[in-house]
A and B are shown apart, each in its own frame.
Chain A
Amino acid sequence: MKNGKKLLALLLAGSMTLSLAACGSSAPAESDNASTDTAATETAATDEAATETASTGLDTSERVDLVFYVMGDAPADEAVVEDALNEKLLERFNATVDFQFSTWTDFQQKYSLELTSGGADLIYVANWLNFKQLAKDGAFLELNDLLDNYGQDLKALIGDDQLNACSVNGQIYAIPNCWPEYVSSGIKYREDLRAAYDLPVPDSLENVEAYLSGIKENLPDQGLLTSTTEESTGLQVAFDAAWLLNLKYSSVTTNGLPYGLNALYDSPSDVYDYWFSDDFVEDCKLMKKWADMGFWSRSALSDTNDSEAFTNGLCVMEPQGQNPSKYITSVSTFADAGQGWEAAYIAYGEVNGVIYPGHATQNGTSIVRGSKNPERAMAVLQAFMTDKELNELVQCGIEGTHYTINDEGFYETITDDTGAAAFGYEGFSTWNLRNTEYKLISKNDALLQEIFNKYQALGEKTKFPNIDIYSGFAEDYSGYDAERTAVSNVMRQYLAPLQAGLVSDVDAAVEEFRTKATEAGLEKVREGFKAQWIAYCDEYGYK
Chain B
Amino acid sequence: MAIRKGPSQIIFNIVSYTLLALMSIICVIPFVMILSGSFTDNHTILTQGYSLLPRDFSVEAYKTVFKAPEDILQAYKMTFFYTGLGTFLGLIMITLTAYVISRKEFKYRNTVSFIIYFTSIFGGGTIPWYLMYSQVLQAKGTTFAIWFPALMSPFLVILMRTFIMGSVPDAITESAKIDGAGHVTIFMRIVMPVLGPGLATIGLFLALGYWNDWYRSSMFSTDSSTWELQFYLYDLLNASTAIKQMSQNSSISTAELPTQSVKLAMAVVSTGPVLLFYPFVQKYFVSGITVGAVKG
Contact = CB atoms under 8 A, between A and B. Distances in A.
Chain B at the A interface: SS class: helix
Interface stretch (A210-218, A284-292, A304-312): A304-312
Contact of B47 (A4, A19, A73, A314): A314
A201 interface: no
A8 B111 contact: yes
B251 A448 contact: yes
Interface in B86-140: 110-111, 114-115, 118, 122, 126-127, 130-131, 134-135, 140
Contacts of B68: 418, 420
Contact of A105 (B234, B251, B256): B234
A74 B126 CA distance: 24
B226 to A, nearest CB: 12
Interface in B241-293: 241-244, 247-256
B18 interface: no
A100 B220 CA distance: 11
B235 interface: yes
A411 to B, nearest CB: 10
A169 B231 CA distance: 41
Given A307-B244, A323-B248, A419 B256 contact: yes
B122 A19 contact: yes
Interface residues of B, number: 44
Contacts, number: 106
Contacts of A103: 218, 235, 238-239
Interface in A77-131: 100-101, 103-107, 109-110, 113, 116-117, 119, 128
A312 B135 CA distance: 49
For this complex, into which size category does the number of interface residues on chain A fall? Answer: 35 or more
A397 interface: no
B110 A113 contact: no
Contacts of A363: 250
Contacts of A100: 222
A528 interface: no
A431 interface: yes
A384 interface: no
Contact of B214 (A74, A105, A107): A105
B239 A73 contact: yes
A236 interface: no
Interface stretch (A53-61, A421-429, A482-490): A421-429
7 contacts: A15-B122, A104-B239, A106-B218, A117-B130, A128-B249, A325-B250, A431-B252
9 pairs of A and B residues whose beta carbons are closest in the complex: A325-B251, A104-B242, A104-B238, A104-B239, A425-B253, A105-B238, A105-B218, A418-B67, A321-B248
Interface of A: 4, 7-8, 11, 15, 19, 72-74, 100-101, 103-107, 109-110, 113, 116-117, 119, 128, 181, 183, 306-308, 312, 314, 321, 323-326, 329, 358, 362-363, 418-421, 424-426, 429, 431, 448
